[in-house]
Copies of this chain bind each other. A is one copy, B any other.
Amino acid sequence: MSLKNDLIIRAARGEEIERYPVWLMRQAGRILPEYRAVRASLSGFKELVETPELAAEVTIQPVDLLGVDAAIIFSDILVVPEAMGLTYEMVEKKGPFFPKTIKSEEDLVKHAQVDFDIEDRLGYVTEAIRITNKELAGRVPLIGFAGAPWTIFCYMIEGQGSKTFAKARKVLYTNPALAHDLLQRITDVTIRYLKAQVLAGAHMLQVFDSWAGILGQVQYEEFGLKYIDQIARAIDEVPITIFAKGAFRAVESIAKMPCNTIGLDWNMSVREMRKLVGESRTLQGNLDPCALYSSHNEVERLTKSMLNSFESKRHIVNLGHGVYPDINPDKVRTFIETVKNYEL
């Protein structure tokens, strides 16, 4: 199936583009009443993730309703630890919770499994990708994704969100061998998982390192970037984006990986990052998600101001973080329209 709109692929590869492509992290989600309607009919978040027809439906909603230049498969980064043997619950208003966590080498055998068939345990994701592409019929590319090993590690050790992830960071000091063993397992599974998504039809991939920012540079090189680099090296089928949130100083290292695009959070200065990265990579981001709480005029002004700060065509426009659930979708439309109407 050939793509009718391949703008984002060309932008990722550094090819000629007629305008900047635009999409939003968490565009398939609670901002849309149509998403909330689907979600309300179900027992919970996980049922939606695990039902391919419905996951495909909400994946396509922002393409129809917002006019984004790419779809991103509706799923969760925590499907990977679950497939490895650590079940999670999504607790309403609190976030993910793992009743069991990794505490020792013995736990790895049962709860950090590596040798399993991806289609067998994560077939609901690849199936959702197949259905989505069939229904999209090439209108826009479909992005697949996974969490970065460090972020998945944090959840597998900590069992839930945390301000400091002190338990996860503790292991880096008390048992670095266990940390590396677990990180390598996550990496191996993640590579196979991402390749399965490509095989199912994902046109691009993104790796999310949500907790990159809680490590200092030296530890992030050893326990974070090292494994992301393995992933970037293993994927050559489609363009790949690395988004290490909060890891301002890692951007230079990421720019040395064989990736196409580097995600920027809203606290990073585009100009500064462009200086560090040079022209060899595409940058993605990075409007402050809170900017969409402003008036329409102000959203337009802030979006234009960001676009004016781009000194290169190698950009994919996005927010610097997932869109917040209480944002008015009309503000998102203003953001998207402003990007689409911006003359290069």
List the interface of chain A (C-beta within 8 A of B): 161, 163-164, 166, 169-170, 172-174, 213-217, 219, 246, 248-249, 266-269, 288-291, 293-294, 298, 321, 324
Which of B163, B170, B216, B290 contacts A172, CB < 8 Å?
Answer: B290
A173: B residues at CB distance < 8 A: 290-291, 293-294, 298
Contact B217 A169 (CB under 8 A): no
Q: How far is the CB of A176 from chain B (nearest CB, A)?
A: 10
Sort A-B residue pairs by CB-CB distance and give the 6 closest, nearest first.
A169-B290, A170-B293, A173-B294, A216-B267, A173-B293, A166-B324
Instruction: Known contacts A161-B163, A324-B164; decide if A267 and B215 are in contact (CB<8 Å).
Output: yes
Please report the C-alpha to C-alpha distance between residue A269 and residue B221 in the assembled complex, in whole angstroms: 14
Offer 12 A-B interface pairs, CB within 8 angstroms, sorted by A: A164-B321, A166-B289, A166-B290, A166-B324, A174-B294, A215-B267, A216-B266, A216-B268, A216-B269, A217-B269, A246-B246, A248-B248
A166: B residues at CB distance < 8 A: 289-290, 324
A217: B residues at CB distance < 8 A: 267, 269
Given contacts A173-B294, A173-B298, A246-B246, 10 further A-B contacts (CB under 8 A): A161-B163, A163-B163, A166-B290, A170-B293, A172-B290, A173-B291, A173-B293, A174-B293, A214-B267, A215-B267
> Closest residue to A267 on the B side, CB-wise?
B216
Contact A216 B324 (CB under 8 A): no
> Closest residue to A162 on the B side, CB-wise?
B163
Contact B324 A290 (CB under 8 A): no
Interface centre among A170, A172, A269 (most CB of B within 10 A): A170
Please report the C-alpha to C-alpha distance between residue A291 and residue B170 in the assembled complex, in whole angstroms: 7
Please report the C-alpha to C-alpha distance between residue A289 and residue B169 in the assembled complex, in whole angstroms: 10
Please report the C-alpha to C-alpha distance between residue A174 and residue B164 in the assembled complex, in whole angstroms: 30
Please report the C-alpha to C-alpha distance between residue A267 and residue B161 in the assembled complex, in whole angstroms: 20
Please report the C-alpha to C-alpha distance between residue A321 and residue B294 in the assembled complex, in whole angstroms: 34
A216: B residues at CB distance < 8 A: 266-269, 288
